[in-house]
Structure 1
Amino acid sequence: MIRDLRIRAAQPADAAAIGAVLERCGLPVDDLARLVGEFHVAVLESQIVGCACAELFGDSAIVRSVAVLREWRDQGIASHLVNAVMMRARANGSRRAVLLTSTCPSYFARYGFTLIHASKLPPEILESKEFQRMRNTSALCMCCELA
């Protein structure tokens, strides 16, 4: 891990910096204002270099918007962010985490995520903005038990 890297819960004032990271990584920012409080950020020398979110739906959490600026990748930052949002989801009562990915299924398998057919998920997950956005894409659905 990078020396002096801090992982912390996002604050409302972080919204613009999180948006910049998401945009640079090609991820959507349209519902960032609503979700900023669900994000964790990676801070290095007062700059946000990465972020991740766990959006809660009943006893499930959608892990989404995992992003690290290209110049800081492959140094364990995303791992710390994913661990942080999953720990927070677990602490808030989530029993499972789900996600959609079209590029990194093997990365998320490290955390216990396995492929699952989306039809096996609760209706509130399937009706979420994240799942609706990815409905007609090649994204894979993955699930991990948190309990």
Structure 2
Amino acid sequence: MGREDSEIERHLGTLLVAREGERIVGCAAVELHGKAGLVRSVAVDLPHRGLGLGIQLTDAILALARSHGVKTVYLLTETAAGFFPRFGFRSIRREEVDPAVRRSVEFTKACPASAQAMRAELR
């Protein structure tokens, strides 16, 4: 996943990991920015794709965000824009993203400018 150790450590409380025995087969994370959240690193090991694990991880990370008082979640994606609409995400312009989220490492350094920004309102 290529994330810096310090970045991962800062968000350990909002990182979910799926295991098969001792092996990590999926993960999802959310950064908290007040009432806004940034979904990060939804990933499933190739042999485990297509089994619903990505859906379960995304549902769980959105529930975790909701439990922390997040009302709106954002994400950036280069490859999965077709996956996220089932969770209420819609494509938006980067300028529409909450300013606190736009200042995150994900927006400023980790993802290329070509990544699609998406937003969902949590109920």
Give structure 1 stretches of 5+ with no counterpart. Answer: 1-26
Aligned position for 1:19: none
- Which shifted more, 113-122 or 78-87? 113-122
Q: Which runs of 4+ in 1 moved over 2 A?
A: 134-137
- For 2:22 and 2:36, how far apart are their aligned partners in 1? 32
Task: Give the number of the structure whose alpha-carbon radius of gyration is greater.
Answer: 1
- For 2:43 and 2:13, how far apart are their aligned partners in 1? 16
**Matching residue within 82, 85, 89 for 2:61:** 85
Classify 1:104/1:136 alpha carbon distance in 2 versus 1 (closer, same or farther; 3 Å).
closer
Q: In angstroms, what is the RMSD of aligned CA positions? A: 1.3
- For 2:74 and 2:97, how far apart are their aligned partners in 1? 9
**3-state SS of the aligned residue for 1:104?**
coil
TM-score, length-normalised on structure 2?
0.91
- Which shifted more, 44-53 or 96-105? 44-53
- CA positional deviation for 1:38: 1.2
Paired amino acid for 2:42? V
Give structure 2 stretches of 5+ with no counterpart. Answer: none
- Which shifted more, 103-112 or 127-136? 127-136
The equivalences for 1:115-134 within 5 A come to 115-134=91-110
Tell me the matched-pair count. Answer: 121
